[in-house]
Amino acid sequence: MDAPSQLFATLLLLSAPGDTTIVPLEEVVVTGSRVPEPLQRTPAAVSVVDKSAFRDTRGISLKDALGTVPGVWVQSRAGGQDVRVTIRGFGARGNGERSNVGNMRGIRVMTDGVPLTEPDGRTALDLADFSLAGRLEVSRSNSSTLYGNASGGVIHLRTDFQFEKPWLEYRERLGGFGYHREQVSAGFPLGRGRAVVGLHNSTLEGWREHSSTTASLLQARFQTPLAHGTRLGVLLDATHTLNRFPGALTAAQLASNPERADPDFVVRDERRDHRVGRLALSVNAAPDPAQEASFSMYVEPKDLARSERDRYREFDRYHVGASATYLRRGRLGPSLESVTLLGGDESYQDGDIRFFTLVPGGSRGDTLKADKREAANGAGFFLQQELIWRGWSLRLAARYDHLRYLSEDRLNPALDATRNFSRWTPKGSLSRAFDRHMLYAALGGGVEAPAFNEIDPPPPFRDSTSFNPFLEAMRSTTWEVGARGSLLNGPAPASLLYDVALYWIDIRDELVPWGGGAYFFTAGRSRRCGAELGLSWRPRQSLRLQGTATVSENTYLEYTNDLGDFSGRRVPGLPRVSLAGNARYDARGGMWAELSMESQGEYFADDANIARVAAHTLVGVSAGAERRLGAVAVRAFVAGHNLTDEAHLGSVFINGTNGEFFEPGLPRSWSAGLSLRLP
């Protein structure tokens, strides 16, 4: 038995932190279908990550919350805030030499019903902080039919409003390589409503040269009833983040000194400096049990600056949007129920872009090299019809999306251009719910247009147009079957919960980065197929165990460009095997201890399958305690990460240049946290 197989067998028997990604079906209501419904009725692969899974973590990035969700793979660039999230292969290309290519692709991210994802499918994670979240909902199935472009998966952060009395909490986090995070948050009744606010500041100096990151974030959430069945929500965010990038290394540089940075990145001080705000309003109305309507709108101004590729780049943008849905329930017979859902989304981003020369040290020069206006508009509407009878459910849905790009070049108007992408995406599913199990099968389409910066033309077309004339929207067809439920029904607290899914995805026109992300090719056909498994076992009240495994095969079927024929090669950036697990023991007196493991198989960093990334296994341990001192609840923990100090890669530059593919992962490190809460 090979090492990954041995590890998986061990995890199934000895690992995992129950109540994180798999939770009792009868207690969970999710919104993966854009309306609240029990998890046991949702005919798709959906995972719920409760706050108990990420409360006692460093809180640096989404990796601290999503590490044990099957089918989801999270990599951290230099161990900081900038991460690459992949769900069933979607999002794999979101990495490259450009610092802004580190933003996510192909996966929709939302907070309290408001999208962070821009119209063209890019998602910057500046506002994706889970410190106020009560849980994360992860839709691992392609969700284009409901959410539109670039929804190969959905990550939804939900604020916790479930409290009756006011509370105040202070959190302090410390760790290796100069990490510290201070946070103050509070929740309080406001009339008949609830308000939650939080403020945090964090700094990570980084273990590699030129890899520091800082972030300051203000979050405010408010919900209140307006009338019978009607609820108003208000969301306010403001953040300032600064990330410096060390760049990728060659294999020789990685072996000799993994802490070094690419000298060009240091000379240019390559960095991303973002100031982002967001205001959103939402109204949900359910005048009677048979119908429900919702409406939301948001505005998100952005002031962005980057040092990148010998240019100082400034972006002044505003992102606005709105969504509306209407749900109607009815009965067509004594045992036949009808549920009709229709809705639409509008998202628009516009703004100015100016590129200047870069002076030594990474500051802005005096010479203007580019002056453009770039705008993207995404609009879509959908209809879903469901029939429910005797535990069965049949859903049919369709969505139409239209995406329009506009580029105006103020220095050379001859380069002005527009580009349109339109697509219908259908989906159907059949499911059967039992007392302790739920089975489903689904077939659906997906669409993902190239992001705005991915549509830049390759040479020699840059002197004649602003857009790559050869790129098309990526289209996918997904077959999926799955089940979840409980295999044990003995006396409490014994339980064995499972979540299993098999998928087969055929893709046409897959988008592939080249030249470090300077431009993109289109692969004719590719295929992804895989299996996902999550097990959560609680044999006794004090012991909670969980293990997850993802096995996948990702292959180019037809892919030829000017650089070669890559048909039959494995898609880069995606391992065949990914495993994770935790074991947690809760002792008397509020003390606990936890052992964790994560393992990934080998993968490649290039289409030619020459730049190989070796498999690795990381081991971590943590322990903590909670005590009440008078009116104050005190909670503390200490954790060790990568205890064996295994050399590994944290991420890669897919199809990097000059042999520079590899971003080394964090060595052994420690972290600790202290929380003080009233009452």
pLDDT of residue 9: 35
Instruction: Give the integer Cα–Cα distance in Å for 147 and 283.
Output: 19
**Phi and psi, residue 540, nearest 5°:** -150, 165
Q: Is residue 219 in a domain?
A: no
In the beta sheet, which residues pair with residue 339?
A: 329, 386
Kindly indicate the confidence band of residue 27, based on its pLDDT and cuts at 50, 70 and 90.
low
Task: Give per-residue pLDDT as tens, 250-275.
Answer: 999 999 999 999 999 999 999 999 99
Give the confidence band of 94 by pLDDT, cuts at 50, 70, 90.
low
Give residue 401's identity as a one-letter amino acid code: D
| Model pLDDT, residue 462 | 78
The residue-averaged pLDDT of 145-154 equals 93
Domain count, the chain: 1
- 217 inside domain: no
CATH value at residue 231: 2.40.170.20
Range with the lowest mean pLDDT among 150-164, 267-281, 456-470? Answer: 456-470
What are the Cα distances from residue 331, in Å, to 334, 389, 397, 402? 7, 10, 19, 34
Indicate the pLDDT class of residue 491, thresholds 50, 70 and 90. low
Say if 599 falls within a structural domain: yes
Asked whether residue 308 is assigned to any structural domain, the reply reads yes
Give the whole-angstrom CA distance, residue 9 versus residue 29: 32
CB 83 within 8 A of CB 74: yes
Query: Which one has a higher pLDDT value, 427 or 33?
Result: 427
Q: How much is the pLDDT for 70?
A: 92
Tell me, what's the pLDDT at 20? 40
Q: What is the pLDDT of residue 308?
A: 86
pLDDT at 95: 59
Segment 285-313 mean pLDDT: 94
In this structure, what are the phi and psi dihedrals at residue 397, rounded to the nearest 5 degrees?
-145, 155
For residue 129, give the nearest of 195, 257, 210, 221 by alpha carbon.
221
Question: Does the residue 291 lie in any domain?
Answer: yes
| DSSP-derived 3-state class of residue 221 | strand
- Phi, psi torsion values for 184, nearest 5 degrees: -125, 130
Average pLDDT of the residues in 389-411: 95
pLDDT given at position 489: 65
What average pLDDT does the segment 591-609 reach?
95
Q: What does each C-alpha distance from 618 to 258, 272, 307, 665, 667 come to in angstroms?
A: 18, 29, 33, 11, 10
**Sign of the dihedral defined by the CA atoms of residues 139, 143, 146, 150, in that order:** positive
Cβ pair 510, 473 in contact under 8 A: no
Listing DSSP states for 50-73 in one string gives EGGGTTTS--SSTHHHHTT-TTEE
**Confidence (pLDDT) at 625:** 97
Flag whether 448 is in a domain.
Answer: yes
Note the pLDDT of residue 562.
80
Across 47-76, average pLDDT: 89
Residue 28 lies in a domain: yes
Q: Which pair of tokens denotes residue 365?
A: 């020069």
User: In this predicted structure, what is the pLDDT of residue 30?
Assistant: 81
Write down the pLDDT at residue 88.
95
Evaluate whether residue 216 is within a structural domain.
no
Average pLDDT, the chain: 89
Average pLDDT over residues 581-590: 93
24-28, 200-204, 522-526, range with greatest mean pLDDT: 200-204
Amino acid at 377: N
Pair 457, 519: CB distance under 8 Å:
yes
Segment 314-326 mean pLDDT: 97
- Residue-range definition of the domain harbouring residue 179: 3-211+224-678
Give the whole-number percent of the chain exceeding pLDDT 70: 93
